[in-house]
Structure 1
Amino acid sequence: MALENAVVTADAAHTQHANGLWLREQGAHYIAVVKGNHPGLLKRLRKLPWADIALDHKDRTRGRGRLEVRHLKTAAFRHLDYPGARQALRVMRWRKDLTSNKITIERLYFVTSLPPGAASGARIAAWIRGHWKIENQLHHVRDTTFAEDASTIRAGRLPRVMATLRNLAISVCRQDDRTNIAAATRHHTRHPGRPMATLRWT
């Protein structure tokens, strides 16, 4: 896959120095989330004077019984202890459950190799939301519906093979206009002909 000038988003498990260095060597940029598995970097990002930094982007969405407001701020760096990092990002998310009126606030921190001015705040926010969408629609479903994290398959290439099969099952259900993957899975297990019909093999 050609990666030159691509922007790759990564969750905390993939926020590794070797990965950042490899992407930059391929001519790609990254937006990588920083969480507790990188305590030193996370501590440094948290200590930035975010209150004094101007807001780059704000958006507001409503759906699935909740209201969500997101603020994005960016801070440029001369040097950050991550390969090719040029900016730090902070996303604040306010979520209000419209049934219970409960409000939750979350702060997320990122590093990116994108230099200041290379992309608008709106564009960066869209890339981050796109990553969360993949997390919610794929990885979360693999864990909750297919119990991937509880799998005892650990050896060799088998975990990758099983992940690919789970991705295939989820993708087939979504192409069949199924939004509830758990319900779609139950539907298909009740009769051996249903998966064949969905795959149009009959």
Structure 2
Amino acid sequence: MGRGRLEVRHLKTVTLQHLSCPGARQAPRVIRWRKDLTSNKITIERLYFVTSLPPGAASGARIAAWIRGHWKIENQLHHVRDTTFAEDASTIRAGRLPRVMAGLRNLAISVLRQDGRTNIAAAATRHHARHPGRPLAALGWT
């Protein structure tokens, strides 16, 4: 229970034998039930993963930790890229430019995190945008 919700997760893994994905050995499935404690709304999500681990190579707790680690990366990087830099709304689609822009966004986020910023939108980008010398100082170039 946390963040105003009650959450229950169920992890199940299935051994794969006939899948056209080279190296795939197992497919973990997570079913997540959430109840919002303010609205009493219940949501159910089914998440599927594929791994090259052979059956029995990792415990359910270990697989669950890897899945949580994946979401940590998702929340720390991709969510910030979309919400702060509006990446999904970008109209840049030609050639290598989308990849270049993603790299520049990743660089900006990494530099701001190394500078000790945790709230990239409020504290970091707005703070740095007000004074053009701050990004250079964060990079150690001044």
TM tier relative to shorter chain: 0.7 to 0.9
Give the number of aligned pairs: 141
Q: In the superposition, relative to structure 1, how do residues 103 and 180 fare at CA in structure 2: closer, same or farther (>3 Å)?
A: farther
- Between the aligned residues of both structures, percent identity stands at 89
* TM-score for both structures, normalised by structure 2: 0.84
Q: In the superposition, relative to structure 1, how do residues 201 and 84 fare at CA in structure 2: closer, same or farther (>3 Å)?
A: closer
Q: For 1:190, which of 104, 108, 130 is the aligned residue?
A: 130
Matched with 2:27 is: 88
* TM-score for both structures, normalised by structure 1: 0.61
Aligned-pair CA distance for 1:141:
1.2
Q: Which moved more, 1:182-191 or 1:150-159?
A: 150-159
Q: For 2:78, which of 123, 139, 147 is the aligned residue?
A: 139
For the residue of structure 1 that corresponds to 2:128, the secondary structure is helix
Runs of at least 5 residues in structure 2 that lack an aligned partner in the other structure: none
Q: CA separation in 2, counterparts of 1:156 and 1:74?
A: 39
Q: In the superposition, relative to structure 1, how do residues 146 and 89 fare at CA in structure 2: closer, same or farther (>3 Å)?
A: same
Aligned-pair CA distance for 1:101:
4.3
The answer on 1:78 being equivalent to 2:22 is: no
Q: CA separation in 2, counterparts of 1:187 and 1:65?
A: 31
For the residue of structure 2 that corresponds to 1:93, the secondary structure is strand
For the residue of structure 2 that corresponds to 1:112, the secondary structure is coil
After superposition, the C-alpha distances for 1:118-176 in whole angstroms (9 at most, x for unaligned) are 11111111111111111111111111211112222222222221111100111122222
Q: CA separation in 2, counterparts of 1:111 and 1:174?
A: 31
For the residue of structure 2 that corresponds to 1:111, the secondary structure is coil
Aligned-partner residue type, residue 123 of structure 1: R
After superposition, the C-alpha distances for 1:64-99 in whole angstroms (9 at most, x for unaligned) are 444433221112233234323222211012234344
Q: Per residue, is there more helix in 1 or in 2?
A: 2
Runs of at least 5 residues in structure 1 that lack an aligned partner in the other structure: 1-61
**Does the aligned pair in 2 maintain the 1:79–1:85 contact within 8 Å?**
no
Q: CA separation in 1, counterparts of 2:2 and 2:105?
A: 27
